[in-house]
Structure formats: structure tokens, C-alpha cells
Structure 1
Amino acid sequence: MTATGTPAAPRSGRLRPLSLREVTLRDGFWQRRQQVNRNTSLAHIEHWIERTGWLANFTVAPESRRGREFSDSEIYKLLEAMAWELGREPDPGLRARYDRIVAVVAAAQLPDGYLNTRFGRAGQPPRWSDLEWGHELYCLGHLIQAAVARARTGHPDDLLVLVARRAADLVCEVFADAGVCGHAEIEPALVELYRVTGERRYLEQARLFVERRGNQVLDDIEFGRSYFQDDVPVRDAEVLRGHAVRAVYLAAGTVDVAVETGDDELLAAVVRQWRAAVSRRTYLTGGIGSRHQDEAFGDDFVLPPDRAYSETCAGVGSVMLAWRLLLAEGDPRYADLIERILFNVIATSPSDDGTRFFYTNTLHQRVLGTEPGADTQVPRAASTLRAPWFEVSCCPTNLARTFAALTAYIATTDDDGVQLHQYTAADVGVTLPDDRRVGFRVDTDYPATGRITVRITESPGTPWTLTLRIPPWATGATLMTSDGGVTEVAPGSARLRRVFTPGELVILDLPLHPRLTVADPRVDAVRGCAAVERGPIVYCAESVDLPAGVALDALRLTPSLTDTPGAVLATCEVTALPDENWPYSGTPSPLPARRSPVTAVIPLRPYHSWAGRGPSTMRVWIPIKTLSGTT
């Protein structure tokens, strides 16, 4: 078994991931969030799976089972997060908590490997009797992912690994000839288990699941078979569609299968779907899913900000997919999207203290939210503010495993050097394939400022290449080296190949200025509006920052933007809103004009921090003041 210590470890591809031990985050935006996750969120989740009875489901009688059909998966995602954290930094207390939960899970496994608390016992539906909605394979996928995390961090003989292998063996036996799960997840899990163990039948079973999908093997439902991605074979689909989380999980597993089997056609199909979804079905924040009723992608350019579902789990899955594509192809555009999602979806969901979460991530909150009590479990999307727990609590556990493994997404290596994809204070040390040792320290407070200083700490006496990602918004970025040379670098990648010496500095300056962003005119919902961005951060206006008597809907954005620490000051014209009984008229007419336009300077805050100061209305897209004074 391998012990690479990273969530995805393909055996081939343009780039290779680094392990959790090869990259160490230091104080900064992401290290602080990773520590909150370790020190607070894991215990918070553990408390709730105990309180809700979801962990007890593994020990109680079938008639006493509590929670939804997929609640087992939340225990497995917590175990995965714990495994990554133990791999980063051993801790006896955390290890004891991990071992206790694993023992409970292992004791519930049946002799043939079957493990599920919702099916198969007396008084419950038979095994595999509801592939559309039962989530049995989905839950086992998360069990396997947790086991992979434990194996890759140096514990290939851990009890959880043995449990997962027995379950995977049963899956291969039962589903050799037919069947798929209504919720994709088993596919990437089986490929990762193959990568860890070398057992090829796990890869073959994942391939079978991918190839069967889209051939109408699941029952039709009110949302249509596209909900399950079972309407069109994966190879033939043109765009990601249906339930957003299911779609990106399936696509991630498909990339894994394509890479491991050398199936270039299959990989090209996912790349085609990804590009179409990013260009036509993705929010400014990187979030996906614009339909609440089925948590799904909308049609092309249907991206209403006030109806953005943008589920946190879909953001996690989108990072999983983009990361696999980055490793396969090396295109920095995948890392660009990962950065956008990390800062504007992943960082948005949890509260600063790691005990409350957004399930969905709207871009326009029209009414003041209601803050749930600290002991309140709410429906999945009913809370208009962050909630401590949900009846469907997939998002807190998905965030936990993502933050725990976040270190793995910072940098990669290839035969000739190291690629730095995400900018945060960190130490990187890696052995290249030819046994040359390379290391450097990254100093930065990005995204507060745009200076990234790379100090070489280890270097062989031969040339190697340091590659730095230049984001698409960073026109005018410059690269300065220790010899004093300054070079302007274009968006994409900047590559330095030389014989580096320890102590040598490479300084990348990314221009961080507030900028107005407008949407494709086919996005009807925000035509006539603009958003404000600064670097990778999307900004928003909140009612708590408005002067007394000024409504959020009355703001008209002007080009005047001033950069200040923690906020962008936007000069807005404040319009008079009509007060009529009927919101329609026979002829177009501007809003009532004021004799002397009233302006106000409004602080716009990072979107990821919204609702952190209590109930607030909020909007990302703000109408633009035109020359005529109308929008």
C-alpha cells in the first residue's frame, strides 16, 4: 500500500500531488480556518452525531434508528476528517476519539461485508432495494474515502481500512453485472482504494459504474433522469446537469477512471462538460446549482442571485473535480476555479468559530434572517443565517474533511520542479522523482495584499523549475528575482528555471485593486448590474452598513471604488424607490428622479464574511448608475 497522504493520488497525469507532510500551512487565511476546523468543528460535529442518534444507529435496534437514509455517511466523513488531521499532526486525544467511532462502525459490519443502518435488518427494506434514493453505495463510498485517508497517512492495516475493503469486495461481487447508485460517490472512492491497494477489481467496478450511468438504468422521477445523470451516457453528455453534487461527484470519479485506464476519450468528455458548465452555469462565486426544488443546475445562463442554491457540498465536489482535472492536464484554469470556490463558497459557509454553517449560499438576501439557537437543528435550506446543524447535515462534515486536507491543494510537482497553485503562508519541501530535494518558504498575507515572497530553503546544484500561477484578473503582475530583475508576467503561469540557491528570493506582486465585474448579457437576472471584486474575493453590500433610511434596493453603483483594509468603499447614488400599488406600467419609465442626486459611500465587505454581524439583507449584484441616471 502507498502512503502518499493526499485525497487524490493518480498514477499518471501531468502533475503529481504533494502529501500533507510535504506542505505545512503557516499563519494566514487558510491556516487559521484549518485550525478552527481541527480544534472546534470536529468536536462540534461529534457532539451532533451523538445528540441526533446518528452514531447510535450502528448499535441500536432497527426500529430505533434515527435520521435520514444517508446519515451513516456523516459519520464516515467525520472519520475522514479525523484521519487527515491525525496524518498532519498526531494527537492522542483525537486518536482515541477516532478509534472509538471506528470500533462502533466495525462492530456493525456483517460477516459478508455489508454495512448500512437503514437497510437489511429485521423490519427494514431489503438490501439494495432502492438504488435511486437509498444511498447505500453512496454511504459506502464515504466509508472507503475515510479508509483511504487513514491508509495514506501511514496506517494501511487500520481497522477502518479492513472494514472498507470487506465492503468494497461485497460491492464488486453484487454489482459485477448491473446497477448504479442514485447518488454518485462510490466511483471516486473505489478508484482511490485501487490506488491505495493495487487491487484492480476496484478500478474495474468503478469503470462499470461510470459506463452504465446514462443508460436509463434508474427509475424515472419527477425531476427527470438527468437528476441522476442517467439520461445521457457520460461519454456523450455536453454539460454538467441535474443534481449539482451528484454531477460533480460523478465527474470526479469519471476523471479518476479515465486517468487510470488511459481513456483519453472519457477524459475529454468530462473536460467538455466542465468547460460548458463553468462558462454557462456557474455563479460569480464559483458556486453551482440555481434550482432549489432539485438542488440542480439550471439551464444555460439561468443564474438568479436571489435563487442561488449554490450548495456548500457542490462547492466541495467542484473543488474535487477541478483538482483532478488540474492533475491530469496541468491547466492553471482549474486552479483558478479552485481559488474562486475556496474563497467564496468554502470560506463562506462556516462561521468564524466553526460551529455554524450555511447549507446554501445565496447571492442576494432580501429579508432579514433569523438566527437559529445554538441547540437548534434546522431543515437543510430553511435557515437564512448560519445554523449549527441540519436535518441533512452533509455540508458541515464535507467542510471538515476539506479543511483537514486543504494542505494538499496548495502545490504539485512534476519531473522538473514544483508548481505553486494557491497562495498562502506555507513551507514546501519535496523530493523530485530523480531524488533531488527542493524546498521553499512562502511568506504572504494574501489576499489582503498581493505580494507573495518565495524564499528557497533547499535546492540541488542542478536546474529545476518553479512555476507560479498568475490569476486571470492579475493583468500587470510582476516577478522580481534576487538579482533585481523585474519582469511583467501575463495571466496563466510564470516559470523560472535555473540553479536556485538557498536564501534566494522570488517575489510575485499581484495587483489587487477593486474592479467592477459585469455578467454575460444572457444572464438576464443581473443585466444592468455589476459586482465588485478584489483579487479572488467577491464583495457584497449588507444592510448593516447602510446609512439610516437607505434601502439596499435603492443603491446604484458608480465606478468610484476606494480600497481600504477589510472593505471596498463604493460611491453609490441613492434613488427614490416607487411606491405604487401595481409594479407594472404600460410604458417604460425611469425611477422618480431627485432634484439633486443623493450619494452615499457604502462599505462593501468580502462575501465570505456576510451575516457575521447578525441578521442582514445582502446583495452581490448591484444596479449600475447609467449616464441617464437610470438602470
Structure 2
Amino acid sequence: MSGTVPMAAPVVPVRGRLRPLGLDAVRIAGGFWAERQSINGTATLDHIEHWLEREGWIGNFDLAARGDLPQGRRGREFSDSEIYKYLESLAWEIGRTGDPRLESRLREMVRRVAAAQEPDGYLNTMFGRPGQAPRWSDLEWGHELYCVGHLLQAAVARARTRPGADDGLLEVARRAADNVCDTFGPDGIDGLCGHPEIETALVELARTTGEDRYLTQAALFVDRRGHGRLSDVEFGREYFQDELPVRQATVLRGHAVRANYLAAGAVDVAVELKDASLLEAVRNQWRNAVTRRTYVTGGQGSRHQDEAFGADWVLPPDRAYSETCAGVGSVMLAWRLLLADGDPRYADLIERTLFNVVSTSPSADGRSFFYTNTLHRRELGIHPDAERPSLRAAASLRAPWFEVSCCPTNVARTLASLTAYVATADDDGLQLHQYVPGTVEHRLADGRHLCVTVATDYPRGGTIRVRIDTDDERPWSLSLRVPGWAGRGATVTVDGHTRPVGPGAVTEHRAWRRGDEVVLSLPTVPRFTYPDPRIDAVRGCVAVEHGPLVLALESVDVPGVDSVDELRVDVSRPPRLVDGRVTVCCRRVRPREHEWPYLADAVESAPVVGEVLDEVALVPYHAWANRGPSTMRVWLPVATDGPAPT
């Protein structure tokens, strides 16, 4: 592998169907995602640093530098990784905005981290010093390699947004990576990390530095997985994805974050080494997980006990774990597959997950977060203590921080780098995958400069207007994704001629003139969505979607109703858009009280049907729980004929 020209993007493969466009090529000029990026940069990053300092997780590095560990160390064994994800977030945000205040904070943080590094490159505040467990002594749970992986990704982000920066972060990362290769290479420890992450990080560091040994080590870690090198645990080796080699597995399984991170790293290795069989194995795993193990929101993971995928079709809404970090991992994986294959279905899942998982986690002000993302809240939530970290899955409302606070930093780095997930290029032109107002620029291999401006209020509206801002006598292609949810009714208009288009991608190849326009019109009429009948937990229910947004029924929108479980939706009356909000018609029901909850008479067991509520307003799922405690559900039971009101 040889070094490549730095590109300000999280994923920069040397080959593939599509090439990413970095922060320097794409600009988001307004709308949904610009607002969230702004809140992330002005509120969330400050909030994260406050809690990292308050909880002592940054201070652990100061203790290490002074030789004062293990006394006084605070946080879990993986807390170092949160500082690295925060550094990565800063690097992307500096690349996006050039904020000098953040630049100063990054340099100071790097100074404190670098001071804790051992002479041989090892860097971890939990292991290896007198009074601590030895290095690499707990590969199942210690997260040492996982932490190194996030350090490498922070350094990659810095190197790609500020090439040649003199803060020293890249040097720290290279020394840590060299230590990993020396320790775990072919002649070293024949082991791997219980939490995948190092694999994709090593590949990106190899892509950034041109150092082949990092790619070789990543491939070695991928091939070691699935051969029982990790000890068995109560959840089984499937929890670590260590019960089957990556090439033999047919579906994403086990811990959902680990599964997505491992698959992302395997795609990176497969692409760089031209390993077609490995890439096909991951494609198949993704396909089966999406068709059988993914929530309507794009969330993944239905088991609380091990934060894991359940079996096929086991997708209970009220027990949805749907960890925010699993959503981030899903985006990472789908983006890599999109670059490798160019299939718009990957971008469809990215869109669904970004709008309905990643953007659901942070509150409107960017200072509290969901760790898990239930699809059904039966009881009113309780405000978490603003002065104490919350137990990760115990927060019934968004919490300011968690004892395990991987999600806030993961959301922050994703939003800071989001611009790099909007568009791609190939030798023939540009492809737009996510719709935001702004500009996209690219220079083709033959030197031609392409530039387009996108005008849209997506996802509020379905019109995407793309204006060509450069002249060229030679033809090139502009491709626009038609989302799978659009179904029938999407059209494209070019030169005043309109034609219908179906889900996938629509491509126009021509000699473009400055001022030419392509208008994609997507049908954003609110719609009912019906579940596969094999999903037992939501049989007899419907969801409501509006464009790419999944909607929810929240009790604060139904005066006089304590619980949304009292309502049944009338599917004979389609959802409507009323004064900017989607509404449905519901019937209120009253359960009958019995001494035993199982009866032989269907009529006696049915609830009493009461009043009809004509216009019950729904809320975008990502916005629920921003107005205080509430009950909520995404899947709405369908009204059926029942006894008359009494």
C-alpha cells in the first residue's frame, strides 16, 4: 500500500465502485443536519469535555504521567476511549469550521494524552503499571486494543483535516500502533480484542500513512476471529463474534456494536486486499441482518442482557435495546459497503439510521442523550439526576451522562464528520446519497471541475433541486438516489421533461451547462407501514412514516389520555398532514377487568371501544421526550370492531 493524498473523510479506500468526498468538497448550508451540526459544535462538545473532566477520565492521563496510578483512577476499563472519540470529534469539527477555540482545546488534550504514553508506545491508564493488571491480561473485557483503535481514528481525523499538524497526535498513534503490531504480529501474542474496533482503525491508519504493516495486522485480527481464541462467557462466544470465522458467518449476531465494528473492519481489509470472498461474506451478513433483525427506525439489537441482536424476526418494540452506538456502527458498515459496491440500498439504511437513531439520541439542546432507543414507552419517564451519571439503560429520559458514556462521544464524532457521508464520485461524475442544502464540488481525473448546488427543505419536503454551476462540453453523469421508501410516485424533471422513477438511483449523463437543473420529486405523503407477519411482537400494528422519518404517538399530544396504550388507530383513514403535523384517527379503548387475564370468550376479552379522536398528532420519533415525561409508541395497534361504548 502506498500513501494517498489526504482527504478529509473518515473512510478513504484506495479502490471501490465509488470514492468519498471529504469536508473540503461538500458544504451543508442549512436545514436539518446543519442545525444538528451547529448544536454539536457549540453545545455538545463543551458538554462532553465538562463531563470528561468532572468524572476524572481525562485526569487519568495526568495521573499516569505523574506515576500516580492506580490510586485515584476513575471510570471503567474503557474510559480512555471516550477521550479519543472526543479528540476525533474535535478534529472533524475543526476541519469543518476552523474554530480556533477548539484547536486550542485539542492541542491541550493531546499534550495530556501524549504525556502518559510509555517509552515503547503502549498507552492505557487501566493496565500495565505497578498495582495494575498486566498489559493484555484481559483480552475478553479489558478493551485495550479497542482503546488503541479509537486513538488511531482520532489521529487519522487530525491528519486528514490538518495534514502536517505539529500537535504530535499522529506520532502518538503511530507509536501505539507499532506497539500493537510488535505485540500481536505473527510472532507475538496469538490473540484479539473482545471488542472489535482496532481492525478498521489500523486500516485507516495504513491508508493515511502508507504503512503496510498496519493493514497486515488488521487482516490478521480479522482472520483470528471466530476460532475460539477468546474465553467463553455467559452469553457465549457469539457475543464476541468468536464462534464462527468472519468468512463463514451468514448474519450479524452477538453484541450489536461489536458486530458492526467487526464487519466494517472486515470490509476495509477485503477492499484493500482485493479479497472478494471476504467482502461477499460481509455483504450477506448485512443483507440478512437488515431484512430480519433491524427495527423500522434502523436500530439494531433487541436484547438487553447482552446488548445483542436477537434471533430472526425477534424485534419487540418495548424491549428494543437499539443502542445508539450500534446505529453509529451500522452507518459505518453501510457506508463502506456503499463505497465498495455503489448499491443505493446501503444509503437507504444510512438515511433511516441517521434520522431515526443517531439524531434521536441527543436532546434538542445537545446536552443529554439516549443510550438505548426504545420504540414503546409504557410508563412516564423519570428525569435523571443532572448531577450524577446515569446507569446506561436505566434512563427513561435523556441523561446528561452515563457511567458507560460511549454514546455521546460516538454521536459527536458522527455529526462532526457527517458532511463526508453526503456524496461520492467516480470517473464519470457525482452521486448524491443524502439530501441537504449546500454545494458539492469535485475534480475528475482528467482535471475537469464539477460543481453543483442543492436546494431542498428535506426531510420536511420531497423536492430536491440540483443546479449545475460549471460549464463542460464533455458529458458527465449526475446520479441521485431515489429512496426505497419512495415507492411509486417519485419523478425526475430535466429540461422541462418529467418522468417517473423507481427506487434505486436515477442517472443523467450529458454535457451540462451552467444553470441546468435536475429536480427530483419524492412523494412525502404520510403513510402507514405494515410489519412482516413473522414479527410476532407487532402483529396487528402499523407504524406511520413521513418521508424518511419514522413517527411516534406521544402522550403529551393527547390531552386527557394518560397512556398511549389506550388508543387504536383507524387504518381506514390514511394519515394526514394538518398544519405541518401528521395526524391519524384513533379510537380510545377501555380494558375490561377480570380475575384471570385469559378467557375463552373473544368478546369478553376484548376492550370496550370508546370515543373517536379524529386528529391525533404524531411527532417525529427523533424528537420524542423533548417535552417532559411521556408515554410513547411507534407501532400502533389497529382498531377492530368491538362492543359499543357503555
User: Does the pair score TM above 0.5?
Assistant: yes
Aligned to 2:253: 241
Alpha-carbon contact 1:576-1:591 (below 8 Å) kept: no
Query: In the alignment, is residue 175 of structure 1 matched against residue 175 of structure 2?
Result: no
Q: With structure 1 as the length reference, what TM-score do the two structures score?
A: 0.98
CA distance, structure 1, for counterparts of residue 248 and residue 609 of structure 2: 59
Match of 1:19 among 8, 22, 27: 22
CA distance, structure 1, for counterparts of residue 548 and residue 605 of structure 2: 34
Q: With structure 2 as the length reference, what TM-score do the two structures score?
A: 0.95
Q: Deviation string for 1:456-487 (max 9, x for gaps)?
A: 11242210000000011212111112x21111
Helix, strand or coil for the counterpart of 2:239? Answer: helix
Aligned to 1:163: 172
Alpha-carbon contact 1:42-1:78 (below 8 Å) kept: yes
Shift of 1:550: 6.0
Shift of 1:376: 2.6
CA distance, structure 1, for counterparts of residue 475 and residue 547 of structure 2: 32
Match of 1:204 among 216, 235, 246: 216
Structure 1 pair 146–566 and aligned structure 2 pair: CA distance change class (3 A): farther
Shift of 1:566: 4.3
Match of 2:376 among 354, 364, 368: 364
Structure 1 pair 248–459 and aligned structure 2 pair: CA distance change class (3 A): farther
Helix, strand or coil for the counterpart of 1:305? Answer: coil
Structure 1 pair 596–142 and aligned structure 2 pair: CA distance change class (3 A): closer
Aligned to 2:617: 603
Q: Deviation string for 1:45-87 (max 9, x for gaps)?
A: 0010000000000011211100000000000000001011111
Q: Deviation string for 1:153-199 (max 9, x for gaps)?
A: 13245400000000000100100131100000000000000100111
CA distance, structure 2, for counterparts of residue 527 and residue 595 of structure 1: 20
Shift of 1:597: 5.5
Aligned to 1:315: 327
CA distance, structure 1, for counterparts of residue 444 and residue 642 of structure 2: 61
Q: Deviation string for 1:250-300 (max 9, x for gaps)?
A: 000000000000000000000000000000000000000000010000011
Alpha-carbon contact 1:574-1:600 (below 8 Å) kept: no
Aligned to 1:30: 33
Helix, strand or coil for the counterpart of 2:512? Answer: coil
Task: Tell me which amino acid in the other structure corresponds to 1:234.
Answer: V
CA distance, structure 2, for counterparts of residue 106 and residue 215 of structure 1: 35
Aligned to 1:84: 92
CA distance, structure 1, for counterparts of residue 604 and residue 157 of structure 2: 59
Shift of 1:547: 2.9
Query: In the alignment, is residue 480 of structure 1 matched against residue 481 of structure 2?
Result: no
Alpha-carbon contact 1:566-1:605 (below 8 Å) kept: no
CA distance, structure 1, for counterparts of residue 615 and residue 596 of structure 2: 31
Shift of 1:580: 2.5
CA distance, structure 2, for counterparts of residue 96 and residue 504 of structure 1: 44
Match of 1:55 among 31, 55, 58: 58
Aligned to 1:147: 155
Identity of aligned residues (%): 60
CA distance, structure 2, for counterparts of residue 190 and residue 81 of structure 1: 18
Q: Deviation string for 1:379-433 (max 9, x for gaps)?
A: 1111100000000000000001000000000000000000000011111111112
Alpha-carbon contact 1:577-1:592 (below 8 Å) kept: yes
Aligned to 1:6: 9
CA distance, structure 2, for counterparts of residue 143 and residue 423 of structure 1: 31
Query: In the alignment, is residue 376 of structure 1 matched against residue 384 of structure 2?
Result: no
Q: Deviation string for 1:1-55 (max 9, x for gaps)?
A: 5310000000000000001010010110000100110111111000100000000
Alpha-carbon contact 2:226-2:243 (below 8 Å) kept: yes
CA distance, structure 1, for counterparts of residue 386 and residue 618 of structure 2: 28
Aligned to 2:226: 214
Query: In the alignment, is residue 255 of structure 1 matched against residue 267 of structure 2?
Result: yes
Shift of 1:549: 4.3
Shift of 1:629: 7.9
Match of 2:583 among 550, 569, 588: 569
Gaps of 5+ in 2: none
Shift of 1:596: 7.0
Aligned to 1:114: 122
Alpha-carbon contact 2:590-2:609 (below 8 Å) kept: no
Helix, strand or coil for the counterpart of 1:235? Answer: coil
Alpha-carbon contact 1:566-1:606 (below 8 Å) kept: no
Aligned to 1:620: 634
Structure 1 pair 425–565 and aligned structure 2 pair: CA distance change class (3 A): farther
CA distance, structure 2, for counterparts of residue 539 and residue 133 of structure 1: 37
Helix, strand or coil for the counterpart of 1:458? Answer: coil
Task: Tell me which amino acid in the other structure corresponds to 1:476.
Answer: G
Alpha-carbon contact 2:252-2:285 (below 8 Å) kept: yes
Helix, strand or coil for the counterpart of 1:216? Answer: coil
Helix, strand or coil for the counterpart of 1:378? Answer: coil
Alpha-carbon contact 2:589-2:609 (below 8 Å) kept: no
Query: In the alignment, is residue 411 of structure 1 matched against residue 415 of structure 2?
Result: no
Shift of 1:372: 1.6
Task: Tell me which amino acid in the other structure corresponds to 1:166.
Answer: R
CA distance, structure 2, for counterparts of residue 116 and residue 593 of structure 1: 59
Shift of 1:579: 2.1
CA distance, structure 1, for counterparts of residue 126 and residue 275 of structure 2: 37
Helix, strand or coil for the counterpart of 2:44? Answer: helix
Shift of 1:523: 0.4
Aligned to 1:284: 296
CA distance, structure 1, for counterparts of residue 460 and residue 79 of structure 2: 39
Bigger mean CA offset, 573-582 vs 233-242: 573-582
Query: In the alignment, is residue 346 of structure 1 matched against residue 358 of structure 2?
Result: yes
Task: Tell me which amino acid in the other structure corresponds to 1:588.
Answer: A
Alpha-carbon contact 2:555-2:561 (below 8 Å) kept: no
Bigger mean CA offset, 141-150 vs 499-508: 499-508
Bigger mean CA offset, 607-616 vs 148-157: 148-157
CA distance, structure 2, for counterparts of residue 587 and residue 179 of structure 1: 60
Structure 1 pair 593–36 and aligned structure 2 pair: CA distance change class (3 A): closer
Alpha-carbon contact 2:553-2:619 (below 8 Å) kept: yes
Q: Deviation string for 1:354-393 (max 9, x for gaps)?
A: 1000000000001100112332311111110000000000
Bigger mean CA offset, 621-630 vs 604-613: 621-630
CA distance, structure 2, for counterparts of residue 225 and residue 68 of structure 1: 22
CA distance, structure 2, for counterparts of residue 241 and residue 427 of structure 1: 39
Q: Deviation string for 1:564-600 (max 9, x for gaps)?
A: 3542110011122122343222343465565876344
CA distance, structure 2, for counterparts of residue 370 and residue 514 of structure 1: 32
CA distance, structure 1, for counterparts of residue 79 and residue 223 of structure 2: 28
CA distance, structure 2, for counterparts of residue 333 and residue 190 of structure 1: 27
Q: Deviation string for 1:175-233 (max 9, x for gaps)?
A: 01311000000000000001001110100000000000000000000000000000000
Shift of 1:312: 0.2
Aligned to 1:337: 349
Q: For residues 205-604 of structure 1, what are the structure 2 equivalents within 5 Å?
A: 205-474=217-486, 475-481=488-494, 483-549=495-561, 551-559=563-571, 560=573, 561-589=575-603, 591-592=605-606, 598-604=612-618
Bigger mean CA offset, 383-392 vs 582-591: 582-591
CA distance, structure 2, for counterparts of residue 535 and residue 446 of structure 1: 9
